[in-house]
Amino acid sequence: MSDSYDVVVIGGGPAGYPCAIRAAQLGLSVACIDGWLNRDGSHAFGGTCLNAGCIPSKALLESSELYHRTQHEFATHGINVGKASFDLAQMQKRKNDISGQLTGGIRTLFKANGVEGLEGTGSLAGNGKVRFQPLKGEARELTAKHIVVATGSSPVELKKVAPFDGDRVCDSWDALDFDKVPKKLGIIGAGVIGVELGSVWSRLGSEVTILEALPEFLPAVDAQVSKDALRQFGKQGLDIKLGAKVTGAKVLKSKVTVTYEQKDESHTLDVDKLIVAVGRGPNTQGLGAEEAGLKLDERGFVVVDEHYRTNLDNVYAVGDVIGGQMLAHKGIEEGVVLAEQLAGHKGAAVNYNAVPCVIYTSPEIAWVGLSEKQAKEAGYEVKVGQAPFAANGRAKALEMTSGLVRVVSDAATDRILGVHMSGPYVSELLAEAVLALEYGATTEDVALTMHSHPTLSETFHEAILSVDGLAIHAVNKKRSK
């Protein structure tokens, strides 16, 4: 085991471990330090995403949706299964098994690429040194030509309003590990995490109320798409209260009493469990940032330049800990780009104007680029097209016809500025839109591209055609002359 490396990465999540792997692929000696511990005390690489976020939540979303479809859709297909039931313990086991397989895969990748994975914590010790504290054993000092901070983020706690207690008032990780379905579930925050967790437990029988302080639902999403999604969630039983500011949460023996204000009126809500899903904050505790003189912004995020350099020589940072969109794929790209820079390659910059965003509810919600409102605020004269999944043959066959696709283009250049969708498997459809933005495609470019029939992708094609009033299978909006 060496004490000297070309690169030491502190953090083994979606930004850290790809950075380590890519740097090793380019011939650098690399160590990746990570101290994640699961509930059973076992160590795992992969950070929040693989252990307590993206992957386990998608596993539960899939299981709960299959149960929901069994109850409400199978008979339409002529499939009779009798009274459906579910085994929550088996759902949780499957979820944990999937996470375990993927986190174990990181160890395999480290070995294959020559990365030394170190279980423990790392902190900045100055002058190109990192203090490594193993989970077991004595601390030791590592030296590195380059140090990468990729320590990720954690759920924000409302300490004065609804502090976590790990039982009644929960964070997003707690909410993935319930051993029984809450009869009444409250959620603070109607963002990605809030609506995904709400969907899981609602499908399994919870009466779910989501309290969102903002007056708009998913303001980053095109207004027509978010409006349609909100309507679909309401039909599914999710009670999403907008403009509802939570003022307190009192934990009692068998319930939590939540107080909130909405439209200048005070309300109370009694729930069995309360999930706080109001965002995530940077993990810089224990990093030695203050002692080393590492510059943080007013919210605690590490300050970096366009090349991910901090104010300290040869210290860099990527992923959630530098802020911006807290998405695993954004962190992956930053980590890979940085590794290539450290190896002396020019490398490609991350295009922050083409970052895909997805919410894995049903219908799914996905978007990239500007909404119509954002484009107009940026000074563009826009032209917009849209098409519904209700007219799509594949969507009808799937019994998933809710949702629509909207395309926003620059009227002057025809270049696509943004694509926003809700509907079946739009998480997969979005890749074409991301590619279009990455290549600076025009609506005409995509309009002239053949899409196979019958597929869901035809709805994206129809929305593209609709931008110029050329849709074949969707009604074109009349345009003023």
Contact 14, 47 (CB under 8 A): yes
Distance from C-alpha of 41 to C-alpha of 35, rounded to nearest angstrom: 11
Name the catalytic one among 267, 453, 461, 473.
453
Which of 122, 221, 195, 216 has the alpha carbon at shortest distance from 362? 195
Q: Give the neighbor-by-neighbor strand order of the sheet with 169-170.
A: 169-170, 273-276, 184-188, 207-212, 239-242
Tell me how crowded residue 279 is: count the other CB atoms within 10 A of its CB.
12
CA distances from 145 to 21, 59, 160, 427 (A): 17, 40, 43, 39
Q: Which structure tokens are listed for 165? A: 């207690």
Distance from C-alpha of 420 to C-alpha of 385, rounded to nearest angstrom: 11
Distance from C-alpha of 195 to C-alpha of 275, rounded to nearest angstrom: 11
| Phi and psi angles of residue 182, each rounded to the nearest 5 degrees, phi first | -65, 140
Which of 23, 136, 22, 17 has the alpha carbon at shortest distance from 5? 23
Tell me how crowded residue 180 is: count the other CB atoms within 10 A of its CB.
10
Q: Which structure tokens are listed for 187? A: 């959620």
Which of 286, 252, 324 has the alpha carbon at shortest distance from 15? 324
Positive or negative, the Cα torsion across 291, 294, 296, 300? negative
pLDDT of residue 470: 95
Ranges of residues in the chain whose predicted pLDDT is under 50 = none
Tell me how crowded residue 311 is: count the other CB atoms within 10 A of its CB.
14
Contact 184, 216 (CB under 8 A): no
Distance from C-alpha of 189 to C-alpha of 276, rounded to nearest angstrom: 7
72 assigned to active site: no
Strands 115-126 and 129-134: antiparallel
The pTM of the full predicted model, rounded to 2 decimals, is: 0.95
Show the DSSP H helices in 265-403 as ranges.
Answer: 289-292, 328-342, 372-377, 393-398
CA angle 462, 424, 371 (to 5 degrees): 60
Distance from C-alpha of 380 to C-alpha of 255, rounded to nearest angstrom: 51
Peptide bond into 363 cis (omega under 30): yes
Peptide bond into 155 cis (omega under 30): no
Q: Say whether 218 sits in a helix, a strand or coil.
A: coil
Distance from C-alpha of 291 to C-alpha of 452, rounded to nearest angstrom: 59
Cα maximum dimension of the chain: 76
Q: Which structure tokens are listed for 96? A: 């944990």
pLDDT of residue 476: 87
Contact 182, 201 (CB under 8 A): yes
| Region of 258 on the Ramachandran plot (φ > 0 left; ψ -120 to 50 alpha; else beta) | beta
Q: Say whether 419 sits in a helix, a strand or coil.
A: strand
Which of 41, 31, 38 has the alpha carbon at shortest distance from 132? 31
Distance from C-alpha of 437 to C-alpha of 298, rounded to nearest angstrom: 33
pLDDT of residue 479: 64
Distance from C-alpha of 435 to C-alpha of 208, rounded to nearest angstrom: 37
Give the relative orientation of helices 88-113 and 54-72 as an angle to the nearest 10 degrees: 140
Q: Give the neighbor-by-neighbor strand order of the sheet with 382-388.
A: 357-359, 364-369, 416-423, 404-410, 382-388
Q: What DSSP character marks residue 380?
A: -
State which amino acid sits at residue 236: Q
Contact 148, 10 (CB under 8 A): yes
Q: Which residues pair with 240 in a beta bridge?
A: 210
